[in-house]
Amino acid sequence: MTRLIAFNKPFGVLSQFTDGGARPTLAGFVAVPGVYPAGRLDRDSEGLLLLTDDGRLQARIADPRFKLAKTYWVQVEGIPEPAQLAQLRHGVMLNDGPTLPAEADMMAPPALWPRDPPVRFRKSVPDSWISLTIREGRNRQVRRMTAAVGLPTLRLVRWRIGDWTLDGLPTGEWRQI
């Protein structure tokens, strides 16, 4: 029987089970033998990480050829202008080439767990939240996309992969799907 686990990865945790240093890894949270991450989530990003013991399923989730939609809730510095959201929707030119078009919309600040450490607050610079759905998986792609349109990322939470979401899953916890 295939195992599929949804894990709400906290900020600062590596998307792997071992590390040569003393950084926190998945091993400190998921004590299920034989499962491996289907894709990666940067150490300074939070949210949904899927783990499975099925190599074919792992490839289907992680491989950009399958264009599985991934939705991120992104706290950005500044208030997006319609033109900035339009740029994200049409695709952004990055140093490794253009991105595919994304779904990009303003959103109300979500009711999330506190981040440790908290995001730096600056009275003189407003921040806001956008929902960004991409169908690629380049290294630090969401952060690079928002920066390319003049909206640096402050906090990045992956909320959805395909039909799977974080709904009801506290940070640092996992559930069998």
Which of the residues are catalytic?
Answer: 42
In order, the DSSP letters of 57-105 are HHHHHH-GGG---EEEEEEEES---HHHHHHHHH--EETTEEPPP-EEE
Q: Give dist(CA 15, CA 19) in Å, integer.
A: 10
Angle at 31 between CA 29 and CA 33, to 5 degrees: 140
CA 22 to chain centre: 23
HEC letters along 30-58: CCCCCCEECCCCCCCCEEEEEEECCHHHH
